[in-house]
Amino acid sequence: MRRGDWLIHDSVEVYDNPWINVVHHKVSTPNRTPGIYGQVAFKNYAIGIIPIDQNGMTWRVGQYRFPLDRYSWEIPEGGGPLQEDPLKSAQRELREEVGLLAAKWSLLMELDLSNSVTNEQSYVYIAEELTIVPTEHEDSENLTIEKLPFSELYQQVLDGTIRDSISVAAILKLAHVRPELVK
C-alpha cells in the first residue's frame, strides 16, 4: 500500500485507548530504503478558544500537565470527537472550563500538531459577546481560571510564560489580526 511517496509493507496496531491509537509500520522510504514509521492517530480534535469581552479582557487556564510534569498556562482548550462539529466542541469546552457562553464565534485558525508522528488537528476559535454561567469541570481537571487583558496574555507568550503550542499560535495570530488588543 502507498501513502504518498512511502510504501507500507506491514502495519501493526501496538496500542489503543479512547484517545489515541498507535501503529507501527514497516516501510520503504521515499528513497526506497527500508525503514519503520510509528504513527499516533488521535481520536479527537484539539480545540482552543480565545474568549474576548467588550473591554479586551480574556481568560487563561492553568493546570498541571502530566506528560510534561509541570504546570502550564493556556487558552481554554479541550478535545472534540472527530465525528462532531469542532465548533460544538469549542462551545462545550468554553462552558465546561471557564463558565462562559458566547453569542459570536469566529474560526481563527486550523493547525496540524506534531505532524511528523501524529495526525492531530486543532481548531481555534474566538468567542465574543460573552455570558457567565457555572463551570462544569471534568473529574480529571483541577483548573485555575484567571481573567486578564489580552495584552498581558500576549506578553506572556513573548516572555515564555505561555509555552503551549496551540495557545502560542492562537495568541500571536489574534494579536496580528486585531492589533488593537495589544496596545
Q: Residue 65: which of 153, 148, 147, 165 has the closest Cα? A: 165
| Own/partner pairs, 149-155, CB within 8 angstroms, 24+ separation | 149/56, 149/57, 149/58, 150/50, 150/52, 150/56, 150/57, 150/58, 150/174, 150/175, 150/181, 150/182, 151/56, 151/181, 151/182, 151/183, 153/58, 153/60, 153/75, 154/181, 154/182
Helix or strand or coil: residue 114? coil
User: Residue 82: which region, alpha, beta or left (left: phi > 0; alpha: psi -120 to 50)?
Assistant: alpha
pLDDT of residue 121: 97
Q: Where are the domains of the chain?
A: 2-42, 44-182
pLDDT of residue 100: 98
pLDDT of residue 111: 98
Residues of the chain with confidence (pLDDT) below 50: none
pLDDT of residue 36: 96
For residue range 58-93, what is the model confidence (pLDDT) as tens digits? 999 999 999 899 999 999 999 999 999 999 999 999
Q: Is 2 exposed, middle or buried (0-12, 13-18, 19+ CB in 10 A)?
A: exposed
Rounded-to-10 torsion of CA 168, 176, 93, 165: -20
CATH class of 44-182: alpha beta
* CA angle at 158 for the pair 156 and 159, rounded to the nearest 5°: 65
Other beta carbons within 10 angstroms of residue 179's beta carbon come to 9
pLDDT of residue 183: 84
Q: For the chain, what is the radius of gyration of the CA atoms?
A: 19
Q: Which pTM was predicted?
A: 0.93
pLDDT of residue 148: 98
Contact present, 92 and 100 (Cβ < 8 Å): no
pLDDT of residue 126: 98
